[in-house]
Amino acid sequence: CDIVPERFEAIKAVSSLVKEAACYERFEDMLAQEKLDFVFIATPHDCHAPQVIAALDAGIHVLLEKPIAISVAQAEAMIAARDRSGCTAALAYQRHGLGQFRWLRSQIQSGAFGELRAATCHLGQAWKTGTANTWRQIPAQSGGGMLHDSGSHMIDVAMWMTGRHPVRISAHIDNRDTPVDIQGYVAAVLDNGATLQINVIGDASMWHERHSYWFENTSVFIEDDVTRVFHRDGTRMVLDAWPAAETPLVNFVRALHGQTEIYAPLECGLHVQQVTEGAYRSHAQSGASVSF
Protein backbone atom coordinates (compact mmCIF):
# COMPACT_ATOMS: atom_id res chain seq x y z
CA CYS A 1 0.00 0.00 0.00
CA ASP A 2 1.50 3.32 -1.09
CA ILE A 3 0.09 6.65 -2.23
CA VAL A 4 2.68 6.74 -5.04
CA PRO A 5 1.74 3.95 -7.52
CA GLU A 6 5.09 4.13 -9.32
CA ARG A 7 6.72 2.64 -6.23
CA PHE A 8 4.73 -0.56 -6.69
CA GLU A 9 6.32 -1.22 -10.07
CA ALA A 10 9.77 -0.36 -8.76
CA ILE A 11 9.42 -2.92 -5.96
CA LYS A 12 8.01 -5.58 -8.27
CA ALA A 13 10.93 -5.07 -10.63
CA VAL A 14 13.46 -6.10 -7.99
CA SER A 15 11.53 -8.76 -6.07
CA SER A 16 9.79 -11.79 -7.52
CA LEU A 17 8.10 -12.38 -4.17
CA VAL A 18 5.64 -9.53 -4.72
CA LYS A 19 5.07 -9.74 -8.48
CA GLU A 20 1.46 -10.86 -8.04
CA ALA A 21 0.75 -8.76 -4.96
CA ALA A 22 -2.33 -6.56 -5.00
CA CYS A 23 -1.53 -2.85 -4.81
CA TYR A 24 -3.55 -0.22 -3.03
CA GLU A 25 -3.28 3.53 -2.80
CA ARG A 26 -5.71 3.75 0.12
CA PHE A 27 -5.01 1.99 3.40
CA GLU A 28 -8.75 1.71 4.09
CA ASP A 29 -9.35 -0.14 0.81
CA MET A 30 -6.62 -2.64 1.59
CA LEU A 31 -8.07 -3.41 5.02
CA ALA A 32 -11.56 -3.82 3.57
CA GLN A 33 -10.65 -6.00 0.59
CA GLU A 34 -7.78 -8.19 1.79
CA LYS A 35 -7.66 -10.93 4.43
CA LEU A 36 -4.49 -9.93 6.26
CA ASP A 37 -2.59 -11.58 9.09
CA PHE A 38 -0.64 -8.44 9.95
CA VAL A 39 0.50 -5.11 8.57
CA PHE A 40 3.85 -3.35 8.87
CA ILE A 41 3.15 0.37 9.01
CA ALA A 42 5.95 2.71 7.94
CA THR A 43 4.12 5.91 7.06
CA PRO A 44 4.47 9.57 8.08
CA HIS A 45 4.12 9.88 11.83
CA ASP A 46 0.75 11.63 11.78
CA CYS A 47 -0.72 8.60 9.99
CA HIS A 48 0.37 6.10 12.64
CA ALA A 49 -2.50 6.45 15.11
CA PRO A 50 -5.45 6.27 12.68
CA GLN A 51 -3.88 3.45 10.66
CA VAL A 52 -2.87 1.37 13.68
CA ILE A 53 -6.26 1.78 15.32
CA ALA A 54 -8.08 0.90 12.07
CA ALA A 55 -5.98 -2.25 11.61
CA LEU A 56 -6.42 -3.38 15.21
CA ASP A 57 -10.16 -2.73 15.09
CA ALA A 58 -10.24 -4.95 11.98
CA GLY A 59 -8.56 -7.76 13.93
CA ILE A 60 -5.16 -7.37 12.24
CA HIS A 61 -1.85 -7.57 14.09
CA VAL A 62 0.43 -4.53 13.69
CA LEU A 63 4.17 -3.91 13.52
CA LEU A 64 4.83 -0.17 13.54
CA GLU A 65 7.83 1.97 12.71
CA LYS A 66 8.92 4.43 15.37
CA PRO A 67 7.99 6.84 16.81
CA ILE A 68 4.65 5.59 18.01
CA ALA A 69 2.68 8.76 17.17
CA ILE A 70 2.74 12.54 17.37
CA SER A 71 1.10 12.90 20.79
CA VAL A 72 0.75 11.08 24.09
CA ALA A 73 -3.02 11.04 23.63
CA GLN A 74 -2.65 9.21 20.31
CA ALA A 75 -0.26 6.68 21.86
CA GLU A 76 -2.70 5.98 24.67
CA ALA A 77 -5.55 5.51 22.16
CA MET A 78 -3.43 3.00 20.21
CA ILE A 79 -2.72 0.97 23.35
CA ALA A 80 -6.43 0.98 24.19
CA ALA A 81 -7.22 -0.27 20.67
CA ARG A 82 -4.70 -3.10 21.05
CA ASP A 83 -6.15 -4.12 24.39
CA ARG A 84 -9.76 -4.23 23.20
CA SER A 85 -8.84 -6.05 19.97
CA GLY A 86 -6.76 -8.80 21.55
CA CYS A 87 -4.28 -8.40 18.69
CA THR A 88 -0.52 -8.12 18.92
CA ALA A 89 1.12 -4.75 18.28
CA ALA A 90 4.80 -3.88 18.43
CA LEU A 91 7.26 -1.14 17.57
CA ALA A 92 10.29 -1.63 15.32
CA TYR A 93 12.96 -0.52 17.80
CA GLN A 94 15.79 -2.62 16.41
CA ARG A 95 18.24 -2.08 19.28
CA HIS A 96 16.04 -4.37 21.38
CA GLY A 97 17.27 -7.21 19.19
CA LEU A 98 20.98 -6.31 19.10
CA GLY A 99 23.33 -8.43 21.18
CA GLN A 100 25.21 -5.68 23.02
CA PHE A 101 22.04 -3.97 24.22
CA ARG A 102 20.34 -7.23 25.20
CA TRP A 103 23.47 -8.25 27.12
CA LEU A 104 23.66 -4.97 29.04
CA ARG A 105 19.96 -5.12 29.86
CA SER A 106 20.37 -8.63 31.27
CA GLN A 107 23.30 -7.50 33.42
CA ILE A 108 21.30 -4.56 34.75
CA GLN A 109 18.31 -6.76 35.52
CA SER A 110 20.51 -9.26 37.36
CA GLY A 111 21.94 -6.53 39.58
CA ALA A 112 25.49 -7.59 38.70
CA PHE A 113 26.70 -4.02 38.21
CA GLY A 114 24.93 -2.47 41.17
CA GLU A 115 22.69 0.58 41.16
CA LEU A 116 22.65 2.84 38.10
CA ARG A 117 24.26 6.21 38.85
CA ALA A 118 24.33 8.01 35.49
CA ALA A 119 23.92 7.45 31.76
CA THR A 120 24.60 9.43 28.61
CA CYS A 121 23.51 8.60 25.06
CA HIS A 122 24.40 10.56 21.97
CA LEU A 123 23.65 10.20 18.30
CA GLY A 124 25.00 12.30 15.46
CA GLN A 125 23.97 12.01 11.83
CA ALA A 126 23.34 14.15 8.75
CA TRP A 127 19.61 14.13 9.47
CA LYS A 128 19.08 17.76 8.43
CA THR A 129 20.26 17.29 4.86
CA GLY A 130 18.95 13.74 4.58
CA THR A 131 15.39 14.81 5.38
CA ALA A 132 15.36 18.17 3.59
CA ASN A 133 12.24 18.80 1.48
CA THR A 134 10.44 15.76 2.92
CA TRP A 135 7.51 15.29 5.30
CA ARG A 136 9.98 14.73 8.15
CA GLN A 137 10.57 18.48 8.24
CA ILE A 138 6.86 19.34 8.19
CA PRO A 139 5.85 19.55 11.88
CA ALA A 140 2.19 18.66 11.31
CA GLN A 141 3.19 15.38 9.67
CA SER A 142 6.33 14.46 11.60
CA GLY A 143 5.44 15.70 15.07
CA GLY A 144 9.01 16.89 15.54
CA GLY A 145 12.52 16.68 14.17
CA MET A 146 15.69 14.78 15.01
CA LEU A 147 14.79 14.22 18.68
CA HIS A 148 11.36 12.83 17.80
CA ASP A 149 12.68 10.73 14.91
CA SER A 150 16.16 9.22 15.28
CA GLY A 151 16.45 10.49 18.84
CA SER A 152 13.50 8.27 19.69
CA HIS A 153 15.91 5.32 19.63
CA MET A 154 18.17 6.91 22.23
CA ILE A 155 15.35 7.68 24.64
CA ASP A 156 13.81 4.25 24.17
CA VAL A 157 16.91 2.14 24.62
CA ALA A 158 17.97 4.00 27.77
CA MET A 159 14.63 3.39 29.46
CA TRP A 160 14.26 -0.16 28.14
CA MET A 161 17.71 -1.29 29.28
CA THR A 162 17.67 0.36 32.69
CA GLY A 163 14.01 -0.11 33.54
CA ARG A 164 14.06 3.48 34.81
CA HIS A 165 11.89 6.44 33.87
CA PRO A 166 12.35 10.20 34.26
CA VAL A 167 10.67 12.06 37.08
CA ARG A 168 11.74 15.45 35.72
CA ILE A 169 13.58 16.74 32.67
CA SER A 170 14.88 19.92 31.12
CA ALA A 171 15.84 20.44 27.50
CA HIS A 172 17.39 22.76 24.94
CA ILE A 173 16.43 22.56 21.27
CA ASP A 174 17.94 24.20 18.16
CA ASN A 175 16.11 24.08 14.83
CA ARG A 176 19.15 25.20 12.80
CA ASP A 177 17.01 27.37 10.51
CA THR A 178 14.53 24.59 9.73
CA PRO A 179 10.87 24.11 10.76
CA VAL A 180 11.79 21.26 13.16
CA ASP A 181 14.39 20.52 15.81
CA ILE A 182 17.81 19.50 14.49
CA GLN A 183 19.91 19.51 17.64
CA GLY A 184 18.55 18.55 21.04
CA TYR A 185 19.86 18.11 24.56
CA VAL A 186 17.75 16.49 27.28
CA ALA A 187 18.81 16.17 30.93
CA ALA A 188 16.69 13.90 33.11
CA VAL A 189 16.54 12.77 36.71
CA LEU A 190 15.36 9.15 36.85
CA ASP A 191 13.12 7.51 39.41
CA ASN A 192 16.08 6.13 41.38
CA GLY A 193 17.89 9.48 41.49
CA ALA A 194 20.30 8.64 38.66
CA THR A 195 20.83 11.12 35.83
CA LEU A 196 20.34 10.59 32.11
CA GLN A 197 21.57 12.84 29.31
CA ILE A 198 20.40 12.50 25.71
CA ASN A 199 22.25 14.49 23.05
CA VAL A 200 21.22 14.34 19.38
CA ILE A 201 23.04 16.23 16.64
CA GLY A 202 21.10 16.27 13.38
CA ASP A 203 23.55 18.23 11.26
CA ALA A 204 26.65 16.15 12.00
CA SER A 205 29.26 15.41 9.35
CA MET A 206 29.08 11.65 10.09
CA TRP A 207 27.07 8.98 11.86
CA HIS A 208 28.22 8.39 15.41
CA GLU A 209 26.44 6.67 18.29
CA ARG A 210 27.65 6.12 21.83
CA HIS A 211 26.07 4.91 25.06
CA SER A 212 27.80 5.33 28.43
CA TYR A 213 26.50 3.86 31.68
CA TRP A 214 27.96 4.28 35.15
CA PHE A 215 26.86 1.86 37.84
CA GLU A 216 27.79 1.38 41.48
CA ASN A 217 30.38 -1.29 40.61
CA THR A 218 30.94 -1.02 36.86
CA SER A 219 31.16 1.39 33.93
CA VAL A 220 30.01 0.29 30.47
CA PHE A 221 30.59 2.05 27.14
CA ILE A 222 28.92 0.94 23.91
CA GLU A 223 30.29 2.41 20.69
CA ASP A 224 29.44 0.84 17.34
CA ASP A 225 29.79 -2.93 17.83
CA VAL A 226 32.35 -2.70 20.65
CA THR A 227 31.40 -2.74 24.33
CA ARG A 228 33.99 -1.86 26.96
CA VAL A 229 33.41 -2.88 30.57
CA PHE A 230 35.41 -1.51 33.51
CA HIS A 231 34.87 -3.00 36.98
CA ARG A 232 35.70 -1.21 40.21
CA ASP A 233 38.18 -3.96 41.16
CA GLY A 234 40.32 -3.05 38.14
CA THR A 235 39.27 -5.85 35.82
CA ARG A 236 38.05 -4.93 32.37
CA MET A 237 36.60 -6.54 29.27
CA VAL A 238 36.26 -5.67 25.61
CA LEU A 239 33.31 -7.41 23.97
CA ASP A 240 32.97 -7.28 20.20
CA ALA A 241 31.31 -10.56 19.18
CA TRP A 242 27.58 -11.00 19.58
CA PRO A 243 24.89 -13.48 18.56
CA ALA A 244 23.09 -12.64 15.34
CA ALA A 245 20.64 -9.80 15.78
CA GLU A 246 16.93 -10.54 15.83
CA THR A 247 15.24 -7.98 13.61
CA PRO A 248 11.93 -6.42 14.64
CA LEU A 249 10.14 -8.32 11.87
CA VAL A 250 11.60 -11.69 12.89
CA ASN A 251 10.76 -11.04 16.54
CA PHE A 252 7.22 -10.03 15.59
CA VAL A 253 6.55 -13.11 13.46
CA ARG A 254 8.03 -15.42 16.09
CA ALA A 255 5.83 -13.78 18.71
CA LEU A 256 2.74 -14.33 16.57
CA HIS A 257 3.66 -18.04 16.48
CA GLY A 258 4.03 -18.12 20.26
CA GLN A 259 7.78 -18.69 20.12
CA THR A 260 8.88 -15.56 22.01
CA GLU A 261 7.67 -12.35 23.59
CA ILE A 262 7.33 -9.02 21.78
CA TYR A 263 10.48 -7.10 22.69
CA ALA A 264 9.17 -3.60 21.97
CA PRO A 265 5.49 -3.29 22.93
CA LEU A 266 3.57 -0.08 22.35
CA GLU A 267 4.24 0.99 25.93
CA CYS A 268 7.87 1.62 24.93
CA GLY A 269 6.64 4.16 22.41
CA LEU A 270 4.30 5.79 24.92
CA HIS A 271 7.18 6.32 27.34
CA VAL A 272 9.32 7.84 24.59
CA GLN A 273 6.49 10.14 23.52
CA GLN A 274 6.02 11.33 27.10
CA VAL A 275 9.70 12.23 27.38
CA THR A 276 9.79 13.87 23.94
CA GLU A 277 6.75 16.03 24.63
CA GLY A 278 8.22 16.92 28.00
CA ALA A 279 11.45 18.00 26.31
CA TYR A 280 9.58 20.23 23.88
CA ARG A 281 7.60 21.77 26.74
CA SER A 282 10.79 22.41 28.70
CA HIS A 283 12.44 24.12 25.75
CA ALA A 284 9.36 26.28 25.19
CA GLN A 285 9.78 27.41 28.80
CA SER A 286 13.47 28.32 28.32
CA GLY A 287 14.69 25.00 29.70
CA ALA A 288 12.53 25.00 32.82
CA SER A 289 12.23 21.65 34.58
CA VAL A 290 9.19 19.56 33.63
CA SER A 291 8.00 16.94 36.13
CA PHE A 292 6.25 13.65 35.44
Nearest to 85 by CA among 44, 119, 56: 56
Range 21-40 average pLDDT: 92
Q: What is the pLDDT of residue 93?
A: 98
209 exposure class (CB count in 10 Å sphere: 0-12, 13-18, 19+): middle
pLDDT band at 5 (very low <50, low <70, confident <90, very high): confident
Would you say residue 261 has pLDDT above 90? yes
Q: List the domain boundaries for the chain.
A: 6-91, 94-248+260-291
Q: What is the pLDDT of residue 158?
A: 98
Q: What is the pLDDT of residue 152?
A: 98
pLDDT in tens, 122-151: 999 999 999 999 999 999 999 999 999 999
Dihedrals phi, psi of 249, to nearest 5 degrees = -65, -45
Taking each helix axis from N to C terminus, what angle separates 151-162 and 99-110, rounded to the nearest 10 degrees? 30
20-29, 76-85, 156-165: least confidently modelled range:
20-29
**Fold topology of 94-248+260-291:** Dihydrodipicolinate Reductase; domain 2 (3.30.360)
Q: Using an 8 Å Cβ cutoff, are 177 and 121 in contact? A: no
Would you say residue 188 has pLDDT above 90? yes
Range 161-186 average pLDDT: 98
Range 147-157 average pLDDT: 98
3-state secondary structure of 236: strand
| Neighbour-count burial for 16-27, b at 16+ CB within 10 Å, e otherwise | eeeeeeeebeeb
Would you say residue 264 has pLDDT above 90? yes
Range 207-228 average pLDDT: 96
Report the alpha-carbon distance of residue 113 to residue 143 in Å, rounded.
37
Range 52-74 average pLDDT: 98
Would you say residue 204 has pLDDT above 90? yes
Percent of the chain with pLDDT over 90: 89
Would you say residue 38 has pLDDT above 90? yes
pLDDT in tens, 227-248: 999 999 999 999 998 988 999 9
Range 72-84 average pLDDT: 98
- Spacing of C-alpha 108 from chain mean position: 20
Would you say residue 8 has pLDDT above 90? no
DSSP state of 201: E
Q: What is the pLDDT of residue 16?
A: 80
Range 95-115 average pLDDT: 96
Q: What is the pLDDT of residue 11?
A: 86
Percent of the chain with pLDDT over 70: 100
Rounded alpha-carbon distances, angstroms, from residue 7 to 24, 42, 158, 230? 11, 14, 36, 49
Q: What is the pLDDT of residue 45?
A: 98
Query: Of residues 219 and 21, which shows the higher confidence score?
Result: 219
Assigned superfamily of 6-91: NAD(P)-binding Rossmann-like Domain (3.40.50.720)
